[in-house]
Copies of this chain bind each other. A is one copy, B any other.
Amino acid sequence: MIKITVSASKKYDVIMEQNALNKAAELLSQAEIKSDRKLCIITDKTVNSFYGKESGILWQNLSQAGFRLYKYVFEGGESNKTMSTVTAILDYLADNKFSRSDALIALGGGIVGDVTGFSAASFLRGIDYIQIPTTLLATVDSSVGGKTGVNLKAGKNLAGAFWQPSLVIFDPQVLQSLPQHMILDGIAETIKAGFINDKTIIDEAENNISIGDNRFLTQLAAKAVEVKRKVVEEDERDNGSRQLLNFGHTLAHAIEKCSNYRISHGHAVAKGMAIVSAAADEMAWTSVPCAGKILEILKKFNFPLDCPYSPSQLTEAALQDKKIRGNKITLVIPESIGKCRLKTIATDDLEEFITCGMDALKGM
């Protein structure tokens, strides 16, 4: 068992253990979530069919321990990550007389986690919730750190709350049900954590590319969560150093948007890291050249690094980002392998920066 304790505004454990779902009640009890509570499992249709069923391991384990279980299943996908889904969940909880001492379980990927977390933050002005991520991406990214939220018409994640979970449980067994491209999505974020703050992730990924090996993936994921823990503890509300986690993300969000979300998040992050690191080398903003190594790793995992959009298309999409204040934009720039820093540039200079990166990539 791997246990990482996050000391944010709330203190909680991230538990990573093979077959952890079989002992969920015990883990909840250790996190002071006792079995006299009501629990509502919130999940989407796909994950429900794998891990949400009343006959399944999780439900059986929790109900045998005495928890009064409820379940709310919604249609998955970005188009349902909305205020109306949250409203429907809140109505469901109120109709079933959930109180401040009851709790929610987010069972699923990042969308389920974000929607459930925001519902937990908003119901009765805040109740507990537990993250049980069922993708590698959610495990290393959204399940830890308390950023919750939904999309608005104008863009992604524009509404939400900072609301930390009471516990995160990752059972590597869930990786068995993931197609390879979804494993890769998680690997992109894992490698990203390495580039930001932990060179050993890069070293290990370099020597071992067995993406079907759960033990290997769990070890890398734990290191990525450790990077996230440090950053979140330092800057929970994302006013400074937490922005380092956005390495590759300004461009990733733009690429996702331009593709109408046909390019998945992790794959877009891989492309984004490639472009940014190539541009940063060109601009001589890195202390040592970084793009070569970054591309080498990404290619080892067979990430397609082509970008079908022009710098002007990407710039336009990027400048709609919610984080832009005034006429400046903060980028995450690699300094060396395992270290990134924030650099603020004028929004007017963004297109030139992207062009420079994309041009440099062509020759690599």
Q: Is A152 an interface residue (CB 8 A)?
A: yes
A240 shortest CB reach to chain B, Å: 13
Residue of B87, B99, B123, B154 touching A91 (CB-CB under 8 A) = B154
Asked if A160 contacts B94 (CB within 8 A), the reply is no
Asked if A91 contacts B122 (CB within 8 A), the reply is no
**Size class of A's contact patch?**
35 or more
Q: Is A68 an interface residue (CB 8 A)?
A: no
- What is the predominant secondary structure among interface residues of chain A facing chain B? mixed
Asked if B325 contacts A101 (CB within 8 A), the reply is yes
Q: How many copies make up the complex?
A: 2
Q: A83-B86, A94-B153, A154-B94 are in contact. Are A122 and B324 (CB under 8 A)?
A: no
Q: Is A90 an interface residue (CB 8 A)?
A: yes
Q: Is A345 an interface residue (CB 8 A)?
A: no
Measured CA separation A152–B86 after assembly (Å): 12
- Would you list which residues of chain A between 83 and 102 have a CB under 8 Å from chain B? 83-84, 86-87, 90-91, 94-95, 99-101
A317 shortest CB reach to chain B, Å: 14
Q: A94-B153, A94-B154 are in contact. Are A121 and B161 (CB under 8 A)?
A: yes
When distances are taken between beta carbons in the complex, the residues of chain B under 8 Å from A94 are: 152-155, 158
Measured CA separation A323–B147 after assembly (Å): 27
Q: Is A149 an interface residue (CB 8 A)?
A: yes
Q: Is A45 an interface residue (CB 8 A)?
A: no
| 10 A-B contacts (beta carbon < 8 Å) | A83-B87, A87-B87, A90-B158, A90-B159, A91-B153, A100-B325, A122-B160, A125-B148, A125-B159, A125-B238
Asked if B323 contacts A100 (CB within 8 A), the reply is yes
Measured CA separation A162–B124 after assembly (Å): 10
Kindly list 10 other residue pairs between chains A and B, CB separation below 8 angstroms, not including A124-B159, A125-B162.
A83-B90, A90-B159, A91-B152, A99-B322, A100-B325, A101-B325, A122-B161, A125-B237, A126-B161, A161-B161
